[in-house]
Amino acid sequence: MKKLTTQEILSTYKLISEYHKKYLKKYGVILPNLHKGDSYTKDALVLIYLAQGYPDTKIISKTELTEFIKIYYPNTNDVQQARHLGAQKGWYILSGTRNDNTSINIPSGSYKLKSLTECYSGFTAERREELFSGDYWENLKKAYGYRCACCGSEEGRKHRYWNNITVVLQKGHKDPTKPLEEGNIIPQCESCNRPDRNYWVYDDKGRVISISNEKVIDGCSRKVQKAIYSRLYKKFNGMNPEEI
Ligand SMILES: [Zn+2]
C-alpha cells in the first residue's frame, strides 16, 4: 500500500475533476466531493487511489484499498466504495468480482480504473430505474431462494406465520435512510416490509444491525432509555440538542 501526500491527493483529484467535467459529466457520472467537513470523503479517496498513474492504472486489491482508507478512517473493515463508484455512480472501474471485463484478467476482489474518458459499461443516469424491474430484482430474489430475507417465507407459498397469506416478495430497504438502489435492497415479504416499520437497518442476511428511526427508543425499557441517554449525554458533552 502506498501512502499519498496531500499534494498527490489534491493533484490527482484535480486530474479526475478535469476529465469528469470534459468527458463524464454529460453521462450523469457523479463526481464525489473531495471533502466532507475536515475529512476527505471515502469515495474521493478510493477514486484517487485507483487513479494513481493514470492512464497507466494498476490492479488494486480490496485489501490494499482498505489499508489505505484506514489511514483516514481507522474503523473501516471492508471498502465497498469501488464497487459503488462503478455500478451506481458510473465510473469505469473494472471489478474482479463482477466478472464484467473482457481483455484484462482481474482477480476476484480487485479493481482497476480503466478509463476517465468513458463511463462504466452500459451506465446511464436512467440505469438506476432499471434496478426496479427486470433482471436485477429477479436475480436478487433468486439469490435468496425466493425467500424473505427476514422471516424466510417463500414466494407464492403460504406465509410461515400467517397461513391465510400467500407470500409476495417486495423490495425492502436494508437501510431505510438511504435510497432504494442496488446494494440497499433485500427481498422481504409484505409483513416484514410494512412501510410503518421503517425502524430498522438490516444486513444482507436480514439481521437487524442498527436503527433507522429514533422512535424505536420509545418502546425500550426505562433502563435501556437511561443507558442511551447517558451515552448520548457523554457523547455530546451535555449540549442542548438544538445546538448540536
Ligand atoms: Zn418476512
Q: How far is the CA of 231 from the centre of ligand 1 (A)?
A: 33
SS3 content of the chain, % helix, strand, coil (to 5): 35, 15, 45
pLDDT at residue number 134: 63
Judge whether residue 58 has pLDDT over 70. yes
Q: How far is the CA of 98 from the centre of ligand 1 (A)?
A: 28
Q: How far is the CA of 134 from the centre of ligand 1 (A)?
A: 22
Q: How confident is residue 127, by pLDDT bands cut at 50, 70 and 90?
A: low
Q: How far is the CA of 187 from the centre of ligand 1 (A)?
A: 8
Contact 67, 1 (CB under 8 A): yes
**Predicted confidence (pLDDT) per residue in 145-177, tens digit:** 999 999 999 999 999 999 999 999 999 999 888
Judge whether residue 103 has pLDDT over 70. no
Contact 110, 61 (CB under 8 A): yes
> What percent of the chain is modeled with pLDDT above 70?
91
Q: How far is the CA of 216 from the centre of ligand 1 (A)?
A: 20
Map out the domains of the chain as residue ranges.
6-119, 134-212, 215-244
Around ion ligand 1, which residues have CB less than 5 A away? 148, 150-151, 153, 189, 192
Give the β-pairing of 110-119 and 60-61. antiparallel
Q: How far is the CA of 157 from the centre of ligand 1 (A)?
A: 12
Q: How far is the CA of 207 from the centre of ligand 1 (A)?
A: 12
Contact 182, 83 (CB under 8 A): no
For 142-147, which contacts have Cβ atoms below 8 Å and span 24 or more sequence positions? Answer: 144/186, 144/187, 146/187, 147/187
pLDDT at residue number 116: 96
**Predicted confidence (pLDDT) per residue in 8-54, tens digit:** 999 999 999 999 999 998 878 889 999 998 999 999 999 999 999 99
Q: How far is the CA of 159 from the centre of ligand 1 (A)?
A: 8
Q: How far is the CA of 173 from the centre of ligand 1 (A)?
A: 13
Q: How far is the CA of 191 from the centre of ligand 1 (A)?
A: 6
Q: How far is the CA of 149 from the centre of ligand 1 (A)?
A: 7
Judge whether residue 118 has pLDDT over 80. yes
- β-strand partners of 188: 170
